[in-house]
Structure 1
Amino acid sequence: LQQGVQVLYQTDSNLLTESREEAQKHLNDAERQRWDGVRVLLHQWQRLPPIVAESHVPLLRLCHQYSELVEGMDLLDGIRREFRLPDLRRHAREYTSRLQHQLPLKQCRNVLQQWRNRLPNKWESMISWTDICVWRNFLFTLVECCFGLIVPECRELSAFLHDLPWTMIKLAGIARSTHRQADVAVRQLYRLPVVPHLDSDAFHVENFLGLAQKVKLCLMDEPGESLNQTIDSLKAGINLINSFNFDQAEFSREMYDCYKAQLFKLRANIQLKWANKLRESREKTAAATPQNSPKDDSKGAPNGPYRASSAQFDPNAPPATSEPHPDEGPSEEVLLRDADEDYNVAMRINPVYGQGWLAWGRFADSMFERGDMRDLNYAINAITCYMMGIVIRQEKMRLYMPRVLWLLTYDDEQ
Structure 2
Amino acid sequence: MDFDLSEEQRLLKESVGGLLADTYDFEQRNKYTKERGGWSKAMWARFAELGLLGLPFAETDGGFGAGAIEIMIVMEAFGRALVLEPYLATVVIGGGFLRHGGSAAQKEAHIHSIMDGSKTFAFAQLEKSSCYDLSDVTTSARKNGDGWVINGDKFVVLNGGNADTLIVTARTKGAQRERAGIGVFFVPANATGLAKKAYTTHSGSHAADITFSNVEVSADAAIGDPENALQLIERTVDDARTALCAEAVGLMDESLKTTVEYMKTRRQFDAPIGSFQSLQHRAADMFVALDQARSMSMFAAMASDFDNANERATAVAAAKVQIGRSGRFIGQQSVQLHGGIGISMEAKIGHYFKRLTMIENTFGDADYHLRRVSESGTLI
Bin the TM-score by the shorter chain: under 0.3
Q: Which structure dedicates a bigger proportion of its chain to strand?
A: 2
Q: Greater CA radius of gyration, 1 or 2?
A: 1
TM-score with structure 1 length normalisation? Answer: 0.23
TM-score with structure 2 length normalisation? Answer: 0.25
Structure having greater relative contact order (Cα 8 Å, sep ≥ 6): 2
Q: Which structure dedicates a bigger proportion of its chain to helix?
A: 1
